[in-house]
Structure 1
Amino acid sequence: MTKPLLQLRDLHKHFHLPAAPFAAKPVLRAVDGVDLDLMKGETLGLVGESGCGKSTLARTVIRLHEPTSGSILFDGQEVAKAPERQLGQFRRRVQMIFQDPYASLNPRMSVGDLIAEPLEIAGIGTPVERRKKVANLLDRVGLPSDSAQRFAHEFSGGQRQRIGIARAIALEPDLVICDEPISALDVSVQAQVVNMLEDLQADLGLTYLFITHDLSMVRHISDRIGVMYLGKIVELATSADLYHRPSHPYTRALLSAIPVPDPEAARAVEPMQGEIPSPIDIPSGCRFRTRCPLATELCARVEPQLTDIGGGHLAACHFAGELAQQANGVTSPTKERTQ
């Protein structure tokens, strides 16, 4: 059996916040025990509301945040506890595309220097070879070669994100973490960027962890989708299976809220009550129970574990099996090219 490229085991990232005098410091549990496997060559989508911990998880995986506890295995090697000086090879093989393309680009550097910087840091090639590599990367992401002499502020948002993508693939990584790479872009540009990412994956054999809150877009690019709520994965399944039989009340509510362009194909909406609780004060038992229409006394006492309900479909709900059987009326999409 093929080993996962990335394995997360009971991964936590907690932040200690300032406290009032003589009071204990409150702890914000942004990532609170995540188990996840990512296979080489696949795209794993990660979805959930803002504040659920998706971006913190991504930054912890790449060690921009130091994990509080847990394990990060990359290609069989433990990196969660590795000292900074030993992370050089790991950082070459794992790169990140950030949500805000402008904030992630140094405005004082030309585009050519921005893309060549990781090559220079890694000691790859001569200056001439790096210039050729930059030209090739710009061509790959659909930008003219003369872009290398220009600066980030001279480009549109979609073009800046293409620059960020070119920089991310410069070191020919194995894993690219895409942290909401299309959320800051115009709708007309989003499909172009997603299609380009799919083309790069096919050409370079990339593996993607694709983080987004756009459920209507993530189904097109993802092989599997994980649903995150308040620091934990609450459901994980193939893209088709998740849309065909959502088995967690939170997933069902998210899917029912996707706008339907055909008024004749309206679906019953399963609205969520209230706002997502604070990660400083997580509810007892099931962390979704304060907003769940199915919550019982059992949900307040016992936290449900992520359990296989059939075919590798995992859900953390005491009623997941029943919901899987009841699921209907949700179209099962296939992974397809965005138009």
Structure 2
Amino acid sequence: MSDTPLIELRNLVKHFTLSNGLFGRNKVVLKAVDGVDLLIRRGETLGLVGESGCGKSTLARTLIRLFQPTSGQMLFDGVDIAEMGEHALAPYRRRMQMIFQDPYASLNGRMTVRALIAEPLEIAGIGDEASRRVRVDQLLDTVGLNPDHATRFPHEFSGGQRQRIGIARAIALNPDLVICDEPISALDVSIQAQVVNMLEDLQAELGLTYLFITHDLSMVRHISNRIGVMYLGKIVEIAPNDALYKAPAHPYTQALLASIPVADPEARRDSAPMRGEVPTPIDIPSGCRFRTRCPFATDLCASVEPPLRELDGGHFAACHYAEKVMGRQMEAA
């Protein structure tokens, strides 16, 4: 892993304007991603966790330019691609690929496996038909499938095999960045570890950089170098994986980690429970957006939004009382 950043997001915003009221006359703004600063180093795996609806997948789709960002900068290898036109963006699209959550929905059921994997090569104008056939066979072998599978259709495979096909398709163009959007959540538990181990092997072999989005807090610790925690459109904490698990600084991170099932309930990390429900991204609370559920919230939290600041050795948190919260956590451990 290098210290050189491959991806740098600066105050990235993605809002959606929705129609509301009679005949859709009223317009409301859904703040899916609301000012994210994030750095992904070349060759690392950055895990991204958070509750459903916090903006993880929207961030991923904006980063890969499936969504046009509302504002902010997205630096890819030092070049801002946020406002780049499609023609100029084409070379960068080859360097960014995505593995989707549902392998069946992401594969065209009317195309053979060979056609699915060869399609990115055809679009990019790489090779002729014969060389693409050879490349597809190599990719199938790389992800643990038999080249004889190339003539079959997606419905003839298991969920784990379909995800392997999706991975082969994602690495066909030798990308620098692969965004893994919940790549194992639709798979059986027995298959999840196989897919994650394969992703790690591919990273070592091909020098890939991963953004790994998941709800599985145990798995993300295994695969990630650093972990970011997202809440209601913003990163509220980011740290090296061991530091995050040993001393979480943000109350939201503590609550997430306390929810991990353990064999011995008495050994579970002691943490104050979250209150209430996640606010809507259409009406975000003032100040700290977690304050309505935080057991440590004060008047300051209601009036001033805390910045994401460094606490110690690459450990960042957006909390006015992060040091005190971390201290309580360490005393309770």
Give the shorter-chain TM-score range. Answer: over 0.9
Q: Which runs of 5+ in 1 are unaligned?
A: 332-339
Q: Which runs of 4+ in 1 moved over 4 A?
A: none
Matched-pair contact (CA < 8 Å) for 1:12–1:70: yes
Matched-pair contact (CA < 8 Å) for 1:234–1:316: yes
Which secondary structure state, in structure 1, belongs to the residue aligned with residue 20 of structure 2?
Answer: coil
Matched-pair contact (CA < 8 Å) for 1:244–1:330: no
* TM-score normalised by the chain length of structure 1: 0.95
Aligned equivalents of 1:37 and 1:326: distance in 2?
A: 29
Residue in 1 that maps onto 2:309: 307
Residue in structure 2 matching 1:63, options 58, 62, 65? 65
Matched-pair contact (CA < 8 Å) for 1:244–1:327: no
* TM-score normalised by the chain length of structure 2: 0.96
Aligned equivalents of 1:283 and 1:99: distance in 2?
A: 30
For these two proteins, the number of residue pairs brought into alignment is: 331
Aligned equivalents of 2:21 and 2:149: distance in 1?
A: 51
* RMSD over aligned Cα atoms: 1.5
Residue in structure 2 matching 1:220, options 219, 222, 228? 222
Task: Report Cα offsets for 1:151-207 as digits up to 9, x if no partner.
Answer: 000111111100000000000000000001001111111100000000000000000
When residues 251 and 266 of structure 1 are mapped into structure 2, their CA distance, relative to the original with a 3 A threshold, is closer
Task: Verify: 1:287 aligned to 2:260, yes or no.
Answer: no
Pairs within 5 Å for 1:28-107: 28-107=30-109
Matched-pair contact (CA < 8 Å) for 2:19–2:25: no
Task: Verify: 1:160 aligned to 2:162, yes or no.
Answer: yes
Residue in structure 2 matching 1:199, options 189, 197, 201? 201
Residue in structure 1 matching 2:145, options 143, 146, 150? 143
Which residue identity lines up with residue 94 of structure 1 in the other structure? M
Aligned equivalents of 1:91 and 1:313: distance in 2?
A: 31
Which residue identity lines up with residue 17 of structure 1 in the other structure? L
Residue in 1 that maps onto 2:21: 20
Which secondary structure state, in structure 2, belongs to the residue aligned with residue 15 of structure 1?
Answer: strand
Matched-pair contact (CA < 8 Å) for 2:225–2:240: yes
Aligned equivalents of 2:78 and 2:127: distance in 1?
A: 29
Matched-pair contact (CA < 8 Å) for 2:8–2:40: yes
Aligned equivalents of 2:267 and 2:57: distance in 1?
A: 34
Q: CA deviation at 1:84?
A: 1.2
Residue in structure 1 matching 2:254, options 252, 263, 283? 252
Matched-pair contact (CA < 8 Å) for 2:271–2:329: no
Which secondary structure state, in structure 1, belongs to the residue aligned with residue 330 of structure 2?
Answer: coil
Which residue identity lines up with residue 68 of structure 1 in the other structure? T
Residue in structure 2 matching 1:184, options 168, 183, 186? 186
Which secondary structure state, in structure 2, belongs to the residue aligned with residue 164 of structure 1?
Answer: helix
